[in-house]
Amino acid sequence: MWSMMPPCTLHPFFIAQTLFIPSIRSISSKMAKDPVRVLVTGAAGQIGYALVPMIARGVMLGADQPVILHMLDIPPAAESLNGVKMELVDAAFPLLKGVVATTDVVEACTGVNIAVMVGGFPRKEGMERKDVMSKNVSIYKSQASALEKHAAANCKVLVVANPANTNALILKEFAPSIPEKNISCLTRLDHNRALGQISERLGVQVSDVKNVIIWGNHSSTQYPDVNHATVTTPSGDKAVRELVADDAWLNGEFISTVQQRGAAIIKARKFSSALSAASSACDHIRDWVLGTPQGTWVSMGVYSDGSYNVPAGLIYSFPVTCANGEWTIVQGLPIDEFSRKKLDLTGEELSEEKALAYSCLS
């Protein structure tokens, strides 16, 4: 058929393709997302080393979201930090559109949309709690000021370094222009640990377990609560308590295992949790930015508004749902007497930490 066409006449198929290709490119360029700038402090450390490739691969913000990584660490870690940058370049991540590796806090914070605060001063043998708190108050005061002045508008902040709840509270104090709803701390690691324990106990997929809750502090007083948790089964969702059928385990060993899991990993690995902490940080930000699945909540350390009779003004872990980049505390869950005591205990510890931190400021 084509041989009968006049010389130099294009077949309609090729005309259509010629017209269509530029329009595809035009649409593609319009749909391409602008890179999101993500800050990781303490980036040369173990958690940072596990976290930055996850961010670069799209685990945190999605497989279609380009990122520019800002990595900050202290001057003694500068050479190691540069080594991490070299590895990021060598990995040739398609989503990674740039890397800033620096020991300058202003350079690190400039223009960032998301800040994951992994760097902090760890407690060392023989140190009193107030000594550790004083060191971290100084660090978070400085970094809060830099974020306040140089981060992008509506920057979201996740504090990972311990004491995470109180570090987040200090950061809030010294970055007043960052909305309190944009400052959170990581209890998703504890939440995921609780999911994992239930999954192991029942021999079910962890993806079928949902709606555990971590209440309170990211410490050994946290309360892992399964009273509202369910497991998806072929016959519908079933209550975790009903399936486990062992209240002694759920009210005892389960809680202490989740509370002490970090210490158990240090004993086994001789290092603190890094892989799981990095993965949980990605989960936290991803759900915050992209939203939680319908009917599912997660645990986040957020600024208390007095819900569940928790003192207002603490960064306290609650069950939350997320939509349109905002979290909302799940309301109206019944709290039994056993749980009430646990919620109050961890709240008292956070109030004491807050008082200690503020005494360090003065």
Nearest residue to 67 (alpha-carbon basis) of 362, 285, 313: 285
Nearest residue to 160 (alpha-carbon basis) of 62, 39, 258, 268: 39
How many CA atoms are closer than 13 Å to the CA of 341, on its beta-carbon side?
A: 3
Of the listed 11, 70, 150, 218, which one is catalytic? 218
Annotated binding-site ranges for NAD(+): 42-48, 73, 136, 160-162
Q: Would you call 218 a catalytic residue per the annotation? A: yes
Contacts of 101 (CB under 8 A, 6+ apart): 43, 71, 81, 82, 84, 85
- Give, in degrees to the nearest 5, the angle at Cα 192 between 189 and 198: 145
Which 8-state DSSP code applies to residue 216?
B
Q: Say how many C-beta atoms besides its own lie within 10 A of residue 54's C-beta.
A: 15
**Torsion on CA atoms 135, 136, 140, 143, rounded to nearest 10:** 60
Annotated binding-site ranges: 42-48, 73, 123, 129, 136, 160-162, 193
Cα 99 to Cα 134: distance, rounded to the nearest angstrom: 31
- CA distance readout (Å), 309 to 78, 184, 224, 298, 335: 45, 19, 18, 20, 11
Annotated binding-site ranges for substrate: 123, 129, 162, 193
Instruction: Write out the catalytic residue numbers.
Output: 218
